[in-house]
Structure 1
Amino acid sequence: MAAGLVLETTPATSAKKSAPTPRARGGMTKKRGIDWLLLALVIVGALAVLAPFYLVLVNSFKSPVDYANSGPLALPQSLDFSGIVAFWERVNFPEKVWNSLFISGIVAVLAVLISMLNAFAIGIGRVRGRAWIVLLFLLANLLPQEVLLYPLYYMFKTVHLYDNVWSVIIVFTVIQAAFGTYLLSSVYGTFPKEILEAASIDGATRWQILWRVVFPISRPTLSVLLIFFFIWTWNEFLIPLTFLASNANQTVPVAISVLQGDRLMDVTTTSASALLGIIPTLIFFLIFQRTLTRGITAGAVK
């Protein structure tokens, strides 16, 4: 009897202990006050980020008279493309886009390649003084660009590379490769030794280990670096402004700056130039968005 009583009451007791917590619709727990506060802060932050894009988009399609009458926040009364046409013809925009694409693309590819080779030697090759070498690359990333201007100007003048796109390519390749080497060295330093030893036992050379083992596994990280290097180089302003003096060699950010005068600035044309400068990088980001997402989340799940 006692045993039977215990058997009959046990399920009821366990049911009381495992009672599920109340959930909202869709299986989600009810939001607390802090959750609503964080959501409100995220919305405010998103609006703050989107506000400049709204101003650029709205004012790009206004005439100077419409801008003077309605101000920067109002929608255009009618679409006016005079600012876009004026900037397009004034700076020869297709030429500037090609210069930026050529410089950014070459820098991104070369910087990723050099970073991978350096990181393979430092992180996997285990060269002597590895920690000091990585620290040196870190310090190279901390140097401001203003410090490099005069030595680089003198050097490029000496070797006749001033006002040549290859001078900017060389500078940014070194700068981006320093950051890529610092990042990949720590990644390759944790590379599984079992895989490398297995490849060595199978007779693979160092070059084969790099391209057939290390490169395929680290491809997502390299893809992220490639995208970042391209966008960072595209947005650079000071070094291209200093070393690309002629109009035919200038990049998009430098071309946008020529519209700003000392005492007068055409707001509608400047907004149109900013809009045209954003569009290529936006298209590039949308094309490689999936690659960027996969590369960032590649190490999250094993």
Structure 2
Amino acid sequence: MATIDSIGRTTKFVPRKKKSKRTVADWLLLTGAIVVGLAIAVPFYLILINSFKSPSDYASGGPLQWPAALNFDGIINFWNRVAFPQKLWNSFFISGLVAIFAVVISVLNAYAIGIGRVRGRTWIVVLFLLANVLPQEALLYPLYFMFKQVGLYDNVWSVIIIFTVIQSAFGTYLLSSVYGTFPKEILEAAALDGASRWTILWRVIVPISRPTLAVIVIFFFIWTWNEFLIPLTFLVSNANQTVPVAIAVLQGDRLMDVTTTSASALLGLIPTLVFFLIFQRTLTRGITAGAVK
């Protein structure tokens, strides 16, 4: 529809699109998202407020009441009793090296399987998939015996090696399917320009797949940070323990009170939360780049 104004110009009126009405499924999905959000937020809220209470304040007001005054005794007690800076460094050292090593190995494996087209690639990918579903409990005794023999038991490098292999198995399975759909025209053009396979990998494939690799690095870091069973088994000395192991060992102490327990959970959660917030944009860009060609 068009009209003519006072000076003879023609103006078009574009009708506004009607807002789509929300369906029952939309409201159910929104309700489910709110419930899940509350289920995640409520425990964090309880940990936060109880970390800054004194034991007497907790006994008189219970877990739901706000602290009458900020009390840092629980945080200070946990910090000193477990030598938290040392445990924090152990977790950062192990998780960071595992994330880097696992991504490098995954890229090399996926390049050979997805682009190199090795024989029996389907069965190789299936083996990597089976390695991901194998329970960690089945690995404990053989790995314990092996690292005892080579002298790496109660050494952080034993955990680094184990998690590098475990995480790279998943990374290889994921990246091999991604590299299998890589445009052949780009690879052929690089080969015609005289690029070797090594140059094609690091100058062509890795830069293009950088968003996906960034997402994998973030997930590998967080997954390794939260691991408990294998570090508990292979890092028995106090100097080599990670943050989750230190929290679990201290919570088994009968002298622990609720406020110190809450403080230990809060201090164990803050590093991964900060890491996630710092790399949130990288994670979002990586997911978006993987979803949109």
TM-score by length of 2: 0.92
CA–CA distance in structure 2, aligned partners of residues 104 and 112 of structure 1: 12
Q: Residues 100-157 of structure 1, C-alpha deviation per residue, up to 9 Å, x if partnerless? A: 0000000000000000000000000000000000000001111111111111111111
What is the identity, as a one-letter code, of the residue corresponding to 1:40?
Answer: T
User: In terms of mean alpha carbon deviation, does 32-41 or 63-72 score higher?
Assistant: 32-41
Q: Which runs of 5+ in 2 are unaligned?
A: 1-13
Query: Which structure 1 residue ranges, 4+ long, deviate > 6 Å from structure 2?
Result: 19-22
Deviation at 1:224, TM superposition (A): 0.4
SS in 1 for 2:103: helix
Deviation at 1:265, TM superposition (A): 4.4
Question: Which position in structure 1 is the counterpart of 2:274?
Answer: 283
CA–CA distance in structure 2, aligned partners of residues 72 and 234 of structure 1: 28
Question: Which position in structure 2 is the counterpart of 1:16?
Answer: none
Question: Which position in structure 2 is the counterpart of 1:183?
Answer: 174
Change over 3 Å in CA distance of 1:197–1:38 after alignment to 2: same
Question: Which position in structure 1 is the counterpart of 2:61?
Answer: 70
Change over 3 Å in CA distance of 1:183–1:125 after alignment to 2: same
CA–CA distance in structure 1, aligned partners of residues 143 and 27 of structure 2: 52
Checking the alignment, whether the CA contact within 8 Å between 1:259 and 1:266 is kept in structure 2 is no
What is the identity, as a one-letter code, of the residue corresponding to 2:42?
Answer: A
Question: Which position in structure 1 is the counterpart of 2:9?
Answer: none
Deviation at 1:94, TM superposition (A): 0.4
Deviation at 1:274, TM superposition (A): 0.7
Question: Which position in structure 2 is the counterpart of 1:156?
Answer: 147
Q: Residues 176-223 of structure 1, C-alpha deviation per residue, up to 9 Å, x if partnerless? A: 000000000000000001111111111110000001110011101100
RMSD: 1.5
Question: Which position in structure 1 is the counterpart of 2:227?
Answer: 236
The alignment status of 1:296 with 2:287, answered yes or no, reads: yes
SS in 2 for 1:258: helix
SS in 2 for 1:73: coil
Give the fraction of aligned pairs with identical amino acids, expressed as a percent. Answer: 77
Question: Which position in structure 2 is the counterpart of 1:54?
Answer: 45
CA–CA distance in structure 2, aligned partners of residues 117 and 208 of structure 1: 13
Question: Which position in structure 2 is the counterpart of 1:192?
Answer: 183
TM-score by length of 1: 0.89
What is the identity, as a one-letter code, of the residue corresponding to 1:103?
Answer: I
Change over 3 Å in CA distance of 1:22–1:174 after alignment to 2: closer
1:113 to 84, 87, 104: 104
1:212 to 173, 194, 203: 203
SS in 2 for 1:298: helix
1:267 to 258, 262, 268: 258
**How many residues end up aligned between the 2 structures?**
280
CA–CA distance in structure 1, aligned partners of residues 211 and 132 of structure 2: 23
SS in 1 for 2:290: coil
Question: Which position in structure 2 is the counterpart of 1:100?
Answer: 91
Checking the alignment, whether the CA contact within 8 Å between 2:212 and 2:290 is kept in structure 1 is no
The alignment status of 1:139 with 2:130, answered yes or no, reads: yes
CA–CA distance in structure 1, aligned partners of residues 229 and 89 of structure 2: 19
